[in-house]
Chains A and B, each alone.
Chain A
Amino acid sequence: MTQTKIKSAADLGAHLAACESFAASATGPEWLRTLRCNGVTHFTELGFPTTKLEDWIYTPVTGITKLAFRLAATADATVTAEQLAPFAFPGWTGSRLVFVNGHFAPALSSLPAPQQGVTITNLAAALASGDKLVEAHLAHHASVDGSGFSALNTAFIADGAFIALAPNAVAAEPVHLLFVSVPGNAANTAQPRNLIVAGANSSAKIVEHYVSLGGAAHFTNAVTEIVVGEGANIEHAKFQEENLEAFHIATVQATLARDSRFLSHSISTGARLARHNINLVMTGQGVDCVMNGLYAVGGKQLVDHHTIADHAQPHCGSHEFYHGILGGNSRGVFNGKIFVRKDAQKTDAKQTSRNLLLTDTATVNSKPQLEILADDVKCTHGATVGQLNDEALFYCRTRGIAEVNARRLLTHAFASEIVNRITVEPVREHLEQVLWARLEELIEKK
């Protein structure tokens, strides 16, 4: 195994210089500038993670450090609506906020009709208007010292989505957040920062969607903080279909208050390297959350999910379902941590990770990590890695279905089990189309 050596501040070179100059020049209120400076400081200390770190042993990020660092100051104005057509959800009636290279592009976006108690806008606008919720929550949940990447994102906080729901507000339509990277001379890096604050008993469905225009390498480093208030009900779907040269690093950090419901989806088909951190912290009793995930990769792709279900309070349920489909020489990593704190009695935590290897050269490292300090809990986990079920294949064939079609059917079914948990139909439809094409590619290339 090749190990990258721990970087000294000097080795961070271009990134650090860019950080510092950005932090020095960027405008905004005092508190924000302090946040950014903290980001710079922590990034200087942490640098990029190396494969010596336990959480990164299978995921070398040298490709990112070698990539020239070009951050856009504004959205690329040359992007047209037609170019985004392939990323539209069929029959979508909800709103769509488009971000190009990390910056809001109003001309490409369609904002929702104004609704009492529901704010759906971009972070730069919310910062400019001095929204107090932003100051109260931004960077309070995803800690800057978690990893070099979130620190780096914090150093560059400028734009992203901002969604706020007043208590009892129910967003009328789902929200589509489309993050488009247009790698080129002007930019190859995006650092979107999203904040979702859901008041007590509010409810919304939000889709974060990451895509590329063009096939050149680029780097997305996203952080999304989600604050789910008491009794609120939030569905958050993240779909990453960036180009196969892209590096995608993203953290979703959700804080779940008493009696809230949170449904998280992560669907990942794109990028040369994708690392998803999904961290759910249950800070009140009676929370019920689901982590649902699917990755379908081939070629030389690497996809890594690190999830945390942190049961800090009693009587919470977390249910995690991850499926992986791996072809070519691809690699999958799944690490599911479940923490059950000392007082978190009556916890019900369930985790399953299933992986389907389409070739002998695809590999997966799947690992549950349970730390249970309470004694009256129900925790189960299971991981499988393997081929399609022989019995099911035979059953299909005895009904007249050709073996290759039976394989296809079962592979799609394996993906559908995850996709079907998404409650927004146009998103499911889009995913089915994209996944169908992707799986056909994987099955054919084997």
Chain B
Amino acid sequence: MNPPLIEITNLSAGINGKQILKGINLTVRPGEVHAIMGPNGSGKSTLGYVLAGRKGYDVTGGSVTYDGKDLIELSPEDRAREGLFLAFQYPVEIPGVNNTYFLRAAYNEQRKHRKQEEVDAVDFLAIVRQKMKLLELPEAMLKRAVNEGFSGGEKKRNEIFQMAVLDPKLAILDETDSGLDIDALRIVAEGVNKLKRPDNATIVITHYQRLLNYIVPDFVHVLFDGRLIKSGGKELALELEEKGYDWLIGKNGK
């Protein structure tokens, strides 16, 4: 078996002193797709933020080894430069910053970190154009300020577009499917699938089975009250779709 890309061991974390994650264990290997499902407020986004290194989300126990490194020790930017990507559930608007400019700044900082040469505006545009085609994004989106005034669906597509350009090793997609109509969902999911390689991995956080028809997971986990209470194959998602979470929570509830 491949060595793990990320190994989360007994991870506990809180927000401003309030305990949210209560001992998470999860191993993701290159080439795998994992889905995390769970009711509102169970801690899915918190897990994403903790892995991305958000201030105020403090690790209180356990460890995370990413690509052989202690992830928790790294700054958010170093995590990104090491190939970790979080597609936000609620992407942030940055008025006054051009979308292409922003992405090139990020792209070049990542390249610099990897001791690769920086890319000028012309070459970058070529890269960007190619990725836009992959996601069927309108060219106009490049000229706008980052997420400003984007519809919910446009914001989600922009996240995946950024992911396509930055080409991460581990992508965490936090409810990227919400806000997408069925056509956009298909395009985004196909984009994600095309980016899939034996050496990268994806964690898909979602409420809905329908996304998993397109992005087929190798594993499905249920997060409830800060713990992964059940894991299984892709059929678990179907079971959850049918029965909801109550049958699981009943057994594991407080």
Which A residues are closer than 8 A to B by beta carbons? 389-392, 394-403, 405-406, 409-410, 412-417, 420
Q: Mark B72-103, 1 if CB is under 8 A from A, else 0.
A: 00011101110001101001111111000011
Minimum CB distance partner of B87 in chain A? A398
A401: B residues at CB distance < 8 A: 77, 105-106, 109
Which of B79, B95, B162 has most chain A Cβ within 10 Å?
A: B95
Q: Which of B36-79 contact A (CB under 8 A)?
A: 52-55, 75-77, 79
A391: B residues at CB distance < 8 A: 92
Say yes or no for B113: interface residue by CB 8 A criterion: yes
A413: B residues at CB distance < 8 A: 94-97, 145
Say yes or no for B204: interface residue by CB 8 A criterion: no
When the two chains form the complex, which single residue of A398, A403, A406 contacts B52, counting CB atoms closer than 8 Å?
A: A398
When the two chains form the complex, which single residue of B81, B91, B92, B97 contacts A400, counting CB atoms closer than 8 Å?
A: B81
Which of A391, A392, A396, A412 has most chain B Cβ within 10 Å?
A: A396
A392: B residues at CB distance < 8 A: 92-94
Say yes or no for B200: interface residue by CB 8 A criterion: no
- Are B96 and A400 in touch, CB under 8 angstroms? no
Give the CA-CA distance A398 to B54 in the complex, in Å: 9
Give the CA-CA distance A438 to B139 in the complex, in Å: 33
Q: Which of B150-177 contact A (CB under 8 A)?
A: 162, 166
User: Chain B nearest CB: distance from A401 CB in Å?
Assistant: 5
- Are B166 and A400 in touch, CB under 8 angstroms? yes
Given A391-B92, A395-B92, A400 and B54 touching (CB < 8 A)?
no
Give the CA-CA distance A412 to B145 in the complex, in Å: 13
B109: A residues at CB distance < 8 A: 400-402, 405
Minimum CB distance partner of A404 in chain B? B77
A389: B residues at CB distance < 8 A: 92
B162: A residues at CB distance < 8 A: 399
User: Chain A nearest CB: distance from B92 CB in Å?
Assistant: 4
Give the CA-CA distance A392 to B91 in the complex, in Å: 9
- Are B113 and A400 in touch, CB under 8 angstroms? yes
Contact sample, A vs B, 23 pairs, CB 8 Å cutoff: A389-B92, A390-B55, A392-B92, A394-B54, A394-B76, A396-B102, A397-B75, A399-B80, A399-B103, A399-B106, A400-B77, A400-B110, A400-B113, A401-B105, A401-B109, A402-B109, A403-B75, A409-B97, A409-B105, A410-B97, A413-B97, A415-B96, A416-B97
7 pairs of A and B residues whose beta carbons are closest in the complex: A413-B96, A399-B106, A400-B80, A397-B76, A395-B92, A416-B96, A417-B96
Give the CA-CA distance A417 to B75 in the complex, in Å: 29
B86: A residues at CB distance < 8 A: 398
Which of B79, B80, B97 has most chain A Cβ within 10 Å?
A: B97
Minimum CB distance partner of A393 in chain B? B55
- Are B95 and A398 in touch, CB under 8 angstroms? no
User: Chain B nearest CB: distance from A60 CB in Å?
Assistant: 34
A403: B residues at CB distance < 8 A: 75, 77
User: Chain B nearest CB: distance from A255 CB in Å?
Assistant: 32
- Are B106 and A400 in touch, CB under 8 angstroms? yes
B91: A residues at CB distance < 8 A: 395
B94: A residues at CB distance < 8 A: 392, 395-396, 410, 413
Give the CA-CA distance A360 to B183 in the complex, in Å: 50
Give the CA-CA distance A255 to B196 in the complex, in Å: 63
User: Chain B nearest CB: distance from A175 CB in Å?
Assistant: 28
User: Chain B nearest CB: distance from A416 CB in Å?
Assistant: 4
A402: B residues at CB distance < 8 A: 77, 109
A400: B residues at CB distance < 8 A: 77, 80-81, 106-107, 109-110, 113, 166
Known: A399-B103, A400-B80, A409-B97. 15 other contacts (CB 8 A): A392-B93, A395-B91, A396-B102, A396-B106, A397-B75, A397-B76, A398-B85, A399-B162, A403-B77, A410-B94, A413-B94, A413-B95, A413-B96, A413-B97, A417-B96
Minimum CB distance partner of B78 in chain A? A400
Give the CA-CA distance A415 to B96 in the complex, in Å: 8
User: Chain A nearest CB: distance from B87 CB in Å?
Assistant: 10
Given A390-B55, A405-B105, A398 and B76 touching (CB < 8 A)?
yes
Minimum CB distance partner of B110 in chain A? A400
A396: B residues at CB distance < 8 A: 94, 102, 106
Minimum CB distance partner of B54 in chain A? A394
Minimum CB distance partner of B91 in chain A? A395
A395: B residues at CB distance < 8 A: 88, 91-92, 94
